[in-house]
Amino acid sequence: MRLFRKVGNTLHILSFPGEDVEKGGYLLIEDMKAKKAMIAQVIDIQFANVPGVMEELLRSPDVEDQVQGDDVDPFGIMSQILYIQDARLLVCKIYGTIVNNGFFSDNNWLPSRTDSKIRKLSTESLMKLAGITKGLPIDLGETQDAAPMIIDACELDGRLNIITGKKGTGKSHLSKILVLGLIEHGATVVILDLNGEYTNLGLAADGTKNKHHEKIRVLTPAQNFKVTLYKTNLYVVMRLLTNALNLPGASAREFRSIWKFLEQNGTLTLHELGGAIKRWKCNQHVRDAMQSRYYAILHSGFFTDNMAEALDFEAVLTETDKKGGGAIVINLKDMAPSDRKMVVEYVLAKLQEILSQWKLRAVFLFAEEAHLYLRETYWDDIVTRMRHFGLFTTFITNQPNTIHENIYRQADNIFLLNFVNEHDLQAISRAARADAETAISIVRDLPPHYCLVLGQVVKDFPIVVKIRPLNIKTMGQTRYFFLKEREKR
């Protein structure tokens, strides 16, 4: 490899066939005279602009050509000419400098073209140099040079994370690895599971219980997840009515009065609430508004008057925490959008309530396709208030443009899987922790189950990881009409 050019924080390096360099890999440019070394990541591999290649290719026959022939080349020079034709230009981003074994983020020097030696920098060495620790290890898989990629769970603690990639690239799979890693270290995780993909986290691929089984609790609203009005705080119900069911302000005020009336009388039940709305002296429009929301609540099946079938969500959370962590999967599969919003609003309000009262230290929230159930204003809550309460969110989506720009800007860790669509690539380029060119160039060519990790967990050295397989029963098996034909293939 030969150093060719430096423009800003970009290096261009000439590489020849046989020098096995991959996109995403790191190089060390050691200037022997200056006794310094530059660390750079390969973000693109192009053909070197060798003069005359176009003419060479135009006259080289391919199999179908009408012109075929033989070369008598007694010196074997043609092999060298072909070798030059395949010369590559490595476009690299500079990440810093090593002087006296210490790392500095200094890019303002030029390594010598003649005195520099360029070699691959192993991920293991990079991790050592960057100080990527393995305190509470979560095994993500392996790097391009087959080194184990282990991140520190502490780097997810108190952080805002994003997992994004196009459909079928392994987002949920990676998310499950993070969830299981966190609960192994005693964390409490709440998962808003849109497609019921996490419901089998406690089962191995063969359907038997795995080691996480006792730590996974699946709550399906209207089935094993029902709540009573009695156990629900007015604040939670009001958030649910106004945010999820869009109850107007005037109606909300009347509803608050009814709620307090029933609370005082000790008759805070669904049945009594329905009757009270009917009898309450108020404007007919207000009554209609309250009644329609009442029926929405009633028909969701999420609320019940039967104390025996009701679940104390707060107790579930605190118990999980006491038992040394675990995952609570809120199974939102097959739910009507309004019911889904209601459940999510309830869960988030409850979490905020519990966390603000310090009944729990912190909760890791994993939210799949959050734009389908999160209200507009909640995005800002996440990056401002909720983090301070101890709710650390990881968003998982295949539509990166649905995540608000401020989330990208404030995200501490970003796990990028493959994208090819230009709009999607532009969306992810907004992430403050990533160099846009690096992210776009590498992510575009990632194969399925490969991920570009950016942010705190890798100390801002983007690393490509091949995500390890998980022995977990998959739930989200795609339904096909031509199933037999597919099996034959």
Partner 1 sequence: MLHGVEIPQRLIELSQKSMHTVKGRFLQPYWTESFESLAETAQESPPVSINSRALSTLITPLTPVRDGTPIIGIDTSTIKIGETEAGIIWAVRAAVVWGNNRGYRYLRLGPLPFHITEENKHAFFGGSVDHTFLNATSFSSVSAETQGRLCNLIERWIQASVSHSVSESIILWDGSLTAGTPGNPVSQISHILEAARKNRNAILAFSKTTTIRSLGWRITDFATRYEPPCLFEVADLPLSTSRRIHLLGRIYAANLSRGGRSFRLDIDRTLSREQGIEAVERLLGNELMFQGYPETLRLAHIYSTFTANDVIGIQSFLKREYGLKIINRRSIRKALFGPYGTRYED
Q: Is the Cβ of residue 78 or residue 336 nearer to partner 1 in the bound state?
A: 78
**Out of 7, 62, 68, 264, which residue is the one contacting partner 1 (CB under 8 A)?**
68
Pick the closer one to partner 1 by CB: 18 or 51.
51
And the tokens for 432? 């403050």
Q: Show contacts with partner 1 in window 84-103 (CB under 8 A).
A: 84-85
Q: How far is the CB of 31 from partner 1 (least distance, A)?
A: 21
Structure tokens at 188: 């409490």
Q: In sequence order, which residues have a C-beta less than 8 Å from that of residue 24 and are 6 or more positions away? A: 41, 42, 43, 144, 442, 452, 462, 463, 464
Contact call for residue 81 and partner 1 (CB under 8 A): yes
What is the residue type of 93? K
- The single-letter DSSP state of residue 166 is S
Q: Per CB under 8 A, does 62 bind partner 1?
A: no
Binding test (CB under 8 A) with partner 1, winner from 74, 207, 249, 266:
74
Q: What value, to the nearest 5°, has the Cα angle with vertex 141 and ends 140 and 147?
A: 120
Nearer to partner 1, 84 or 475 (CB): 84
Residue 185 CB, nearest distance to partner 1 (Å)? 55
Candidates 75-83, 220-228, 381-389, 424-432; binding stretch for partner 1 (CB under 8 A): 75-83
Task: Count CA within 13 A, CB hemisphere, residue 160.
Answer: 21
Alpha carbon distance 448, 210 (integer Å): 26
Query: Looking at beta carbons only, is 80 or 208 nearer to partner 1?
Result: 80
CB 366 within 8 A of CB 240: no
Contact segment (CB under 8 A) with partner 1 among 69-77, 95-103, 148-156, 213-221 equals: 69-77
Cβ atoms of 342 and 300 closer than 8 Å: yes
Nearer to partner 1, 66 or 108 (CB): 66
- Return the residue of 20, 62, 71, 487 that touches partner 1, per CB under 8 A: 71
CB of 4 to partner 1, least distance (A): 14
Query: Among 22, 65, 106, 288, which residue sits at the site for partner 1 (rule: CB under 8 A)?
Result: 65
50 binds partner 1 (CB under 8 A): yes
The residue to which tokens 């290096």 are assigned: 11
Residue of 46, 47, 73, 117 that binds partner 1 (CB under 8 A): 73
Q: Report the SS3 class of residue 233.
A: coil
Contact (CB, 8 A) for 457 and 413: yes
Residue 100 CB contacts under 8 Å (≥ 6 apart), including other chains: none
Q: Are 309 and 301 in contact (CB under 8 A)?
A: no
Tell which one of 7, 63, 72, 308 touches partner 1 (CB under 8 A).
72
66/478 with CB nearer partner 1:
66
Is residue 52 a contact residue for partner 1 (CB under 8 A)? yes
Tell which one of 62, 66, 376, 479 touches partner 1 (CB under 8 A): 66
3-state secondary structure at position 394: strand
Task: Say if CB 463 and CB 123 are below 8 A apart.
Answer: yes
- 70 touches partner 1 by CB under 8 A: yes
CA distance 147 to 122: 8
- CA 156 to CA 161: how far, in whole Å? 7
7 vs 67 by CB, closer to partner 1: 67
Residues 298-357 that bind partner 1 (CB under 8 A): none
Question: By the criterion CB under 8 A, which residues form the site for partner 1?
Answer: 50-53, 55-56, 59, 65-75, 77-78, 80-85
